[in-house]
Amino acid sequence: MTPALEIDRNDGSMRIEGCPLPLRSGLSSTQVKSALSQFYDRCMDHHNGYVWNMFRGLKFVDYPCGIAVCFHFDRLTEIHFGVSLPGVGLEGGWPTREAIDQEVEFIRSALSDVFGVSFESGNQRFKWGEVWSMFDQRGFIASSGIRYAA
């Protein structure tokens, strides 16, 4: 059974079903990697204080999901996530613009349900940080995530 990823509307933390540690601002990479070791996929160290750890094998609202957790000088600062919707169009193994727009629409709808506010503009700010889902023109990808306030 694939564990579900849930977002807490009160503080933006993410919980993974069966994992006792909620993902939230300030956690160390060691804490996160230890708690999510069964989902760990890879690490990308930019050698400038930013390190990303990727985790797979989750679901968000019943669809396969992966997360990328950003650490700045070993403190969690943001979490990006994406879903794999069934039947999306691919060209050369990459999602089409239509597929990307479907993912963004789906995540915006889910975020609206979680937070009780519209994500029509693509992002919302809260006292604890920012949540977004939009098309990233530069990367030609769906970009969704949570960035915690400093």
Dihedral class, residue 140 (left if φ above 0, else alpha if ψ from -120 to 50, else beta): left
| Position 105 pLDDT exceeds 80 | yes
Look at the block and give the residue holding tokens 């889902």: 133
Residue 88 belongs to domain spanning:
5-148
- pLDDT per position as a tens digit, 22-48: 999 999 999 999 999 999 999 999 999
Neighbours of 72 (CB within 10 A): 13
Number of domains the chain contains: 1
- pLDDT per position as a tens digit, 76-99: 999 999 999 998 778 888 899 999
- Kindly report the pTM of this predicted structure: 0.94
